Homo-oligomer: A and B are copies of this chain.
Amino acid sequence: MRRIGVLTSGGDAPGMNAAIRAVVRKGIYEGCEVWGIKRGFAGLIEGDIVPLELGSVADTIHRGGTILLTARSQEFMTEEGRREAFASLHRAGIEGLIGIGGEGTFKGLLTFHRETGFPVIGVPATIDNDIGGTDYTIGFDTAVNNVVDAINKIRDTATSHERTFVVEVMGRNTGFIALTAGLAGGAESILIPEFPFDIETVCQRLMRGMRRGKRHSIIVVAEGVGSAPAIAQEIKQRTGLETKAIILGHIQRGGTPTVFDRVLASIMGARAVELLLAGERRAAVCLVGGEIKHCDLEEALRTTKKIDEAAYKLAEILAI
């Protein structure tokens, strides 16, 4: 394989640049050329493809977002779109494609491979951590650290005013961000889609804490469970406690990546190149039990990652 293409697609995640850097430098080290495709599958269809040199990725490892830009492409969801994408790759002389992104990216890569036979490798990068087959996705650690930073700030004002705060975090229909940030942030309750909860129990827990002398409470809510303002309103009605809602939104997504995300992205990016060179045609890189491995893209998509029930119970015990 002489020329590799790389793109980022879907929601941006901190560490994507570290992954791009690893693909470029590892690729060149192995004697390949690496070309960057702008704005994900959209740029692939348009042929917005540029050669990347060692220096193209200098001073990028610490930057949030993605230097290749990203987008969601409706056109790539059509067969016509994917045919044009294939033609672009052919014209550019690219022989293998590395796609960095989440579930949508993996689906796009797999469909594209099925139709064209083109070799594709997926690198899991999404703050939501909701990709099967891998223990962690690139961007998740940074996002939860962002959330916990925000909780620290909210706690200052919560304590001073003796208030309850309901903090809504991202995660699509999963609770990975909420559970991890809630456990690390010392949240009094964590509401996630994976486990049913009863608002009355949450309220009783709150009141019990108040009686025991707690001056404030933080409740972390995954977006998949409902909206923070509605939950805050309900709690206020049931308990009479002054309860505020805050939706963290896009600040979760940005910022310089943590060491964990930079290292994970560097190793995964390099591994993606190795897999292409070793003849893999539709693999996903993954982290399993502390080791970098790979699986079939289809398997990664079929598997549903389980949330850690023990951690959920521990969070309840520790926030007693």
| A interface residues (Cβ-Cβ under 8 A, vs B) | 8, 12, 14, 16, 21-22, 25-26, 28-29, 39, 54-55, 58-59, 61-66, 69-71, 135, 141, 144-146, 148, 150, 152-157, 159-162, 165, 180-181, 183-186, 212-215, 244, 246-251, 253-256, 258-260, 262-263, 266-267, 270, 288-291, 311, 314, 317-318, 320
**Known contacts A58-B214, A157-B250, then 6 further A-B pairs from the complex at CB < 8 Å, ordered by chain A residue:** A14-B156, A54-B320, A55-B212, A152-B254, A184-B262, A260-B260
Chain B neighbourhood of A29, CB < 8 A: 317, 320
- 7 contacting pairs across A/B (C-beta < 8 A): A12-B156, A65-B156, A70-B160, A145-B258, A152-B255, A152-B256, A153-B255
Contact: A160 with B69, CB < 8 Å? yes
Cβ-closest chain B residue relative to A54: B320
CB-based contact A153/B250 at 8 Å: yes
Query: In the complex, are the beta carbons of B246 and A159 less than 8 A apart?
Result: no
A156 contacts B317, C-beta separation under 8 Å: no
Copies per complex of this chain: 4
Complex alpha-carbon distance, A184 and B22, angstroms: 11
Q: Out of B165, B253, B291, name the residue touching A156 (CB < 8 Å).
A: B253
Residues on B with beta carbons closer than 8 Å to the beta carbon of A320? 25, 28-29, 54
Contact A160-B12, Cβ < 8 Å, known A22-B318, A259-B180: yes
Nearest-neighbour CB distance to chain B for A286, whole angstroms, equals: 12
